[in-house]
Amino acid sequence: MAEQVIRGLGVSPGVVSAPWLRFGSQLETSAQDPVGDSPERELARVKDALGGVADEMAARAARVSGVAAEILTMSATMARDPGIVAATEKELAAGMPTAHAVHLAFEGFCAKLEALGGYMAERATDLRDIGGRTVAVLLGRPMPGIPEPGYPFVLVARDLAPADTAMLGDSDVVGLLTSEGGPTSHTAILAKSLGLPAVVNCPGTDLLVEGAPVLLDGTTGEVVIDPSQARQQDAAERAAADRARIAAASGPGRTADGTPVHLLVNIGTVDDAVKAGPVDSEGVGLFRTEFMYLGKPSEPSLDEQTASYTAVLEQFAGRRVVVRTLDAGSDKPLPFLDLGTEENPALGVRGLRIGTVFPQTLATQLTALARAGEATGAELWVMAPMVATSDEAAGFAALARESGLRKVGAMIEIPAAALRAVDLLTHLDFVSIGTNDLSQYTCAVDRMAGGLAHLLDPWQPAVLDLIAMVGAAGAAAGKSVGVCGEAASDPTLAPVLVGLGVTSLSMSVPALPAVRAALSAVDIDRCRDAADAACAARNPQLAREAVAAIVGHP
């Protein structure tokens, strides 16, 4: 049989060839299933099952860190939501079989979240996953999810619930292939954080041959069905050569002619900081402080926050640590911040805007950061998320400096901020581009809209144009321009970003060596030529091809 090639979006670099297995499907329930004991006793069983699922999620969260820990912690919280128990009790009273009552209860909540759209629809995926696990417990059946064959394999799925993706680190999965999803989905983000080659939004997974391997290229998005032995051998040799090339690069980031590009890591917790501290990086380009708040019933005190931030900063004495102030709201609601119900939370009160509703929350955080900075030897930079206007930048900068913070910046996530970056930088010391949200807001596409994932590609020329505007503004002002979104971890895009004027890149720890190696192979003039070529292209695929012709594949 001749080799067949299908293509999707490469979202986590690397090449792997291995057998493939499909993700375990959710169990089916029906109103015709046998009815159990009395509603009271069945409700007690449901409570026990939900508690068991919550405990399992919490235990897994304790074994991981960063984004994975956050996702699993939120899943545990969802499983303990009393609203689920109340909805199940109502279904049991109506005569529904126990497992089906649970299914209906969860689907009712999922429908409400999906109706809200935006980030809240993403939470429906999480919730549906918890429901499926609870049903499996009640029926005494194996959990839906990742197979455990005892050998390395490529996992094939329609898409993955965040809780499942967070468990990939404990599995035999060596590559990931999904028919849905996008470049900024949880699947893509966590695959990068684990160093797993991944291709998403790939039509044609139904063409895979049972019992035959696949060859998956997480850089190009190419998937070869039943590859020849020669192709598998070639892929293995290329992968080995890539590993050797990447391992040979070390030290501060720079292009081949010595132009510095600061290479930093993204963290979210104290555990992340402890693990990332010894890594060969120049510090932290994004410390997501909201992870310190998630799962807490009340707002952390000034002393609690100061202690947590100090524990993070002391891991990076002498190095830069860029802290993002609380980015709650939208998909990260906090129980002690009542923001009410919003029609579209992704366009509502989130990020810096929370400070207008709860000014003391922001003031306390800034004070805690200033105290932690004074107590450690780290070079502390602080930035606000979701800044849209020059006035907002000026207001945040004034508040931060009054709190004793010296290096103050803002995230560029909103097209308005990119378009007026010159004005923002009159008040700020630096800016950092969050390409995930910038792509979403520029192309008006929900990050979970799998069918529109191509519009979330950071190679979109319109997104590159906005990055170029910010880079030019930074160069004119003599101020730092970073990228801390997922685009920073793409070794093929790194030279383009540098050519657009970006002076630092921040990413997950596993992505850093490949980006360092890619930059060390090109000089600044080739980076600028690559940037010009990418911006001149009509679409992301042509942009990739044009850049590859100039700098080659990493």
Domain with residue 277: its CATH number is 3.20.20.60
Q: Residues 264, 505: contact at Cβ < 8 Å?
A: yes
Alpha carbon distance 230, 10 (integer Å): 23
Does 415 fall in a domain?
Answer: yes
101 and 166, same structural domain? no
Q: Are residues 407 and 286 in the same domain?
A: yes
Mark which of 139, 173, 188 sits at the end of a domain.
139
Q: Are 6 and 225 in contact (CB under 8 A)?
A: yes
CA distance 167 to 507: 20
Whole-angstrom distance, CA of residue 458 vs CA of residue 461: 8
Specify the pLDDT at position 455.
85
Q: Do 132 and 154 share a domain, yes or no?
A: no
Report residue 258 as tokens.
Answer: 């010595």
Domain that holds residue 462: 251-551
259 with 222, same domain?
no
Residues 6+ apart with CB under 8 A from 94: none
Give this prediction's pTM.
0.76
Any idea what DSSP says for residue 288?
E
pLDDT of residue 447: 65
Classify residue 10: in a domain, yes or no: yes
Q: What's the average model confidence in pLDDT over 282-308?
A: 89
Residues 98 and 197 in one domain: no
Active-site positions?
186, 484
- Six-digit token pair at 71? 């996702």
Whether residue 144 is predicted with pLDDT greater than 80 in this model: the reply is no
Is the domain of 93 the same as that of 179?
Answer: no
Cβ pair 390, 426 in contact under 8 A: yes
Instruction: Answer yes or no: is pLDDT of 122 > 70.
Output: no
Residue 472 buriedness (CB in 10 A; 0-12 / 13-18 / 19+): middle
Residue 330 has what pLDDT? 54
- Whether residues 262 and 398 share a domain: the answer is yes
Asked if residue 32 belongs to a domain, the reply is: no
pLDDT of residue 280: 94
So what's the pLDDT on residue 223? 95
Whether 378 and 471 share a structural domain: yes
Over the stretch 378-414, which tens digit does the pLDDT of each residue have? 999 999 999 999 999 999 999 999 999 999 999 999 9
Structure confidence at residue 67 (pLDDT) = 65
Residues 54 and 185 in one domain: no
Is the pLDDT assigned to residue 331 strictly greater than 70?
A: no
In Å, what is the CA distance from 102 to each residue of 2, 16, 345?
47, 39, 27
Per-residue pLDDT for 124 more than 60? yes
Instruction: Return the minimum-mean-pLDDT range out of 11-20, 218-227, 270-279, 347-356.
Output: 347-356
Closest CA to 67 of 439, 481, 515, 507: 507
Is 29 inside any structural domain?
A: no
Q: CA of 262: how far to CAs of 50, 68, 488, 498, in Å?
A: 46, 26, 11, 10
Q: Among residues 191, 190, 219, 223, which one has the least CA distance to residue 206?
A: 223
Q: Closest Cα partner for 303 from 228, 367, 355, 247?
A: 367
Last residue of a domain, one of 223, 244, 265: 244
Asked whether residue 33 is assigned to any structural domain, the reply reads: no
How many separate domains does the chain show?
3
Does the residue 31 lie in any domain?
Answer: no
What is the C-alpha to C-alpha distance for residues 490 and 198, in angstroms, rounded to an integer?
12
User: pLDDT at residue 247 above 80?
Assistant: yes
User: Per-residue confidence at 451, pLDDT binned at 50, 70, 90?
Assistant: low
Q: What is the pLDDT of residue 297?
A: 78
pLDDT value of position 24: 75
87 belongs to a structural domain: yes
pLDDT digit string, tens, across residues 252-261: 999 999 999 9
Tell me: pLDDT of 121 over 70: no
Question: How far apart (Å, rounded) are the C-alpha atoms in residues 449 and 63?
Answer: 30
Residue scoring higher pLDDT (407 or 67): 407
pLDDT tens digits, residue range 180-216?
A: 877 767 778 778 878 889 999 898 899 998 889 999 9
Same domain, 118 and 180: no
Q: In the predicted model, is pLDDT for residue 2 greater than 90?
A: no
**Whether residue 100 is found in the same domain as residue 162:** no
Confidence of residue 524 (pLDDT cuts 50, 70, 90): very high
Say if CB 528 and CB 499 are below 8 A apart. Answer: yes
Distances from the Cα of 237 to the Cα of 20, 376, 467, 483, angstroms: 21, 45, 36, 32
The last residue of one of the domains, among 124, 139, 154, is 139
- Say if 93 falls within a structural domain: yes
Residue 240 sits in the same domain as residue 257: no
Cβ–Cβ < 8 Å for 331, 120:
yes
The CATH number that applies at residue 203 is 3.50.30.10
CA 548 and chain centroid, separation: 26
Higher pLDDT, 9 or 421: 421
